Amino acid sequence: MRSYPFSAEARGMVEAPADVVFAFLDDQENLSSHMSKPSGMMLGTTMKIAMEPDHTKRVGSRFGFTGSVLGVPLRVDEVVTSRTPPSSKTWETTEEPRLWVIGRYGMGFELVPQGSRSELRVYIGYDRPSGVLGGILGRLFGPAYARWCTRIMVDDAAKHFGHATAELA
């Protein structure tokens, strides 16, 4: 994954072994389920996910999201760049996305076995969106969006396996 000027991450414990958690997160539909639910961070809208039949379970697998906020179309296309079961996976945008608060980005997760549990770290590195308006919106809202995105992925994984997560420092 290339280097980005801005970043965020979230960590938490998941009450399941790393191989089980990896199998769940390896399907991008599970990892990105928050994008298909209305939320304040998404201004009450949702995005639709599209992916190849393998559900992002190989390097080179492509997926993306489409939607709109306040009538403005949004779109992002991504590709899986690394996959090392049961410990890590990364993906990046394939072109400049049409998003309001972040530009090109790379994301990933890492799992560290902790007995019958797993420590999960989800991270993002990103650019601000291009253009004057994108630069302003990115400066104002990009950091909060990046923190929310990584935090909700950790929380959703923990909830799937039966427990709310405890944030790790």
User: Is residue 51 situated within a structural domain?
Assistant: yes
User: Is residue 167 situated within a structural domain?
Assistant: no
Cα-based distances in Å from 57 to 19, 50, 133: 14, 14, 36
User: Is residue 117 situated within a structural domain?
Assistant: yes
Give the pLDDT confidence score for residue 158 in this predicted structure.
Answer: 94
Residue with more model confidence, 74 or 44: 74
SS3 2: coil
Please confirm whether the linkage preceding 53 is cis (ω < 30° from 0).
no
27 contacts: CB under 8 Å, gap ≥ 6: 55, 56, 57
Q: Name which of 74, 54, 147, 154 is nearest 109 in CA terms.
A: 154
User: Is residue 169 situated within a structural domain?
Assistant: no
Residue 166 has pLDDT above 90, yes or no: no
Tokens matching residue 9:
């991450």
Q: How confident is the model at residue 2 (pLDDT cuts 50, 70, 90)?
A: confident
Q: Name which of 77, 89, 105 is nearest 21 in CA terms.
A: 89
User: The pTM is what?
Assistant: 0.89
Mean pLDDT of 161-168: 69
Structural domains in the chain (count)? 1
pLDDT digits over 54-70, tens only?
888 999 999 998 888 77
Q: Name which of 49, 37, 106, 108 is nearest 74 in CA terms.
A: 49
Give the pLDDT confidence score for residue 164 in this predicted structure.
Answer: 62
pLDDT digits over 93-139, tens only?
999 999 889 999 999 999 999 999 999 999 999 999 999 988 899 99
User: Is residue 81 situated within a structural domain?
Assistant: yes
DSSP state of 167: B
User: Is residue 91 situated within a structural domain?
Assistant: yes
Q: Domain containing 129 — which CATH number? A: 3.30.530.20
Give the pLDDT confidence score for residue 123 in this predicted structure.
Answer: 98
Q: How far is CA 148 from the centre of its chain?
A: 10
Residue 72 has pLDDT above 70, yes or no: yes
Domain boundaries, position 76:
6-160
User: Is residue 12 situated within a structural domain?
Assistant: yes
Cα-based distances in Å from 162 to 11, 12, 86: 17, 13, 20
Give the pLDDT confidence score for residue 168 in this predicted structure.
Answer: 59
Element (H, E) at 81: strand 72-84
User: Is residue 1 situated within a structural domain?
Assistant: no
pLDDT digits over 4-48, tens only?
999 999 999 999 999 999 999 999 888 776 665 655 555 556 678
DSSP state of 88: E
The three-point CA angle 142-125-1 to 5° equals 155
